Amino acid sequence: MKRILVTGATGQIGSELVPALRYKYGNRNVIAAGHKRTPQKEFLEEGPYITLDVTGFESINKVVQDYHIDTIFHLAALLSAVAEQNPQAAWKINMEGLYNVLEVSRKNGCSVFFPSSIGAFGPSTPSVSTPQDTIQRPNTIYGVCKVSGELLCDYYFTRFRVDTRGIRFPGLISHKTPPGGGTTDYAVEIFYHAIQEKRYECFLKEDTYLDMMYMPDAIRSAIELMETDPNRLKHRNAFNITAVSFSPADLASYIKKFIPEFSISYKVDAVRQSIADSWPRHMDDSAARDEWGWKPQYNLENLTRDMIDRLSEK
């Protein structure tokens, strides 16, 4: 990795991945690309930022050639709940965008990181200790795009030798940029509400268990996977990784340790609940641990403390 393009750079993952990559590889070598015309101030101050529509092959191709890109972190996508409101747009952005990135990479010899998700699984997948290789019959457009994306990335590797690698992210928790339109968003919103109002109305049932991860672990995982010697990788795409599995009730009781007056109530959103019910409760991430040394650093205790400290400072 010498010259890197990050699509979807202003989103939840991108806004933390870009600074981490710039720190490691140099500000001028990491090109942040998003659909926003006015991104975060530091994006413009610290390195190149460009407006990019990933549904256009030519515009991606031009950026890759103009900036001599060798690696693309392709993050631009609609998240699960918002994708369900507009499946046609989700297919266009999530699938056409990935196809264009893979084609540009095939033509220009780039490596590609593709973030898959727990959303790539469905109701018939074993929900506890979900194996690396298992049944994937998702019933959401987000999941259909993710599993198709995993397969397409595998295909581009075996057929064209494009160096594709990917991770199935769990719900991601971060204090920097709020997520937009996901099913696991409650686990971020709850902190803002706990600090500001001391109460939160949750849109998932109290006992909905899902895999989760603190953003610093997620950022490190993406960079570590892309830096791994390819000869060590048997799976390449779509590694299960997790840090912790908890329910809204578990998270609320940890927050109460730091904010004793905090209370939670539940008003279930049927769409997001049914999406969450179709996802694993806890994945087996031993393939990632064995093949490239994945190991999380944050658990429920230290992520809760850090979120509260960081958001309170804000």
Instruction: Choose between 64 and 204: whose C-beta lies nearer to ligand AKB.
Output: 204
The yes or no reply on residue 182 touching ligand AKB (CB under 6 A) is: yes
**Residue at token pair 């989760």:** 212
**Size, binding site for ligand AKB by CB under 6 A:** 12
Instruction: Choose between 259 and 271: whose C-beta lies nearer to ligand AKB.
Output: 271
Of 48, 53, 7, nearest to 29 by C-alpha is: 48
The yes or no reply on residue 80 touching ligand AKB (CB under 6 A) is: yes
Tell me which of 138, 149, 171, 280 binds ligand AKB, using CB under 6 A: 171
Tell me which of 105, 132, 183, 240 binds ligand AKB, using CB under 6 A: 183
Q: Which position among 49, 67, 142, 200 bears the catalytic label?
A: 142
Of 13, 294, 9, 309, nearest to 173 by C-alpha is: 13
Instruction: Choose between 15 and 29: whose C-beta lies nearer to ligand AKB.
Output: 15
Site string for ligand AKB, 90-119 (x = CB under 6 A): ---------------------------xxx
Region near ligand AKB per CB under 6 A, out of 36-44, 94-102, 156-164, 176-184: 176-184
Give min distance, CB of 115 to ligand AKB, in A.
8
Region near ligand AKB per CB under 6 A, out of 65-73, 154-162, 175-183, 296-304: 175-183
Instruction: Choose between 70 and 217: whose C-beta lies nearer to ligand AKB.
Output: 217
The one-letter amino acid code at 273 reads Q
Tell me which of 17, 18, 72, 79 binds ligand AKB, using CB under 6 A: 79
Q: What long-range pairs does 129-137 form, CB within 8 A, spacing at least 24? A: 129/282, 129/283, 129/284, 130/240, 130/280, 130/282, 130/283, 130/284, 131/240, 131/284, 132/235, 132/239, 132/240, 132/284, 132/285, 132/286, 132/287
The yes or no reply on residue 278 touching ligand AKB (CB under 6 A) is: no
Q: Is 142 a catalytic residue?
A: yes
User: Which structure tokens are listed for 6?
Assistant: 């990050």
Give min distance, CB of 255 to ligand AKB, in A.
19
β-pairing verdict for 164-169 and 4-7? unpaired
Residues 286-305 that bind ligand AKB (CB under 6 A): none
The yes or no reply on residue 184 touching ligand AKB (CB under 6 A) is: yes
Give min distance, CB of 170 to ligand AKB, in A.
6
What residue is closest to ligand AKB based on CB? 182
Give min distance, CB of 230 to ligand AKB, in A.
26
The yes or no reply on residue 14 touching ligand AKB (CB under 6 A) is: no
Instruction: Choose between 132 and 183: whose C-beta lies nearer to ligand AKB.
Output: 183
Catalytic residues: 142
Site for ligand AKB, rule CB under 6 A: 79-80, 117-119, 169, 171-172, 179, 182-184
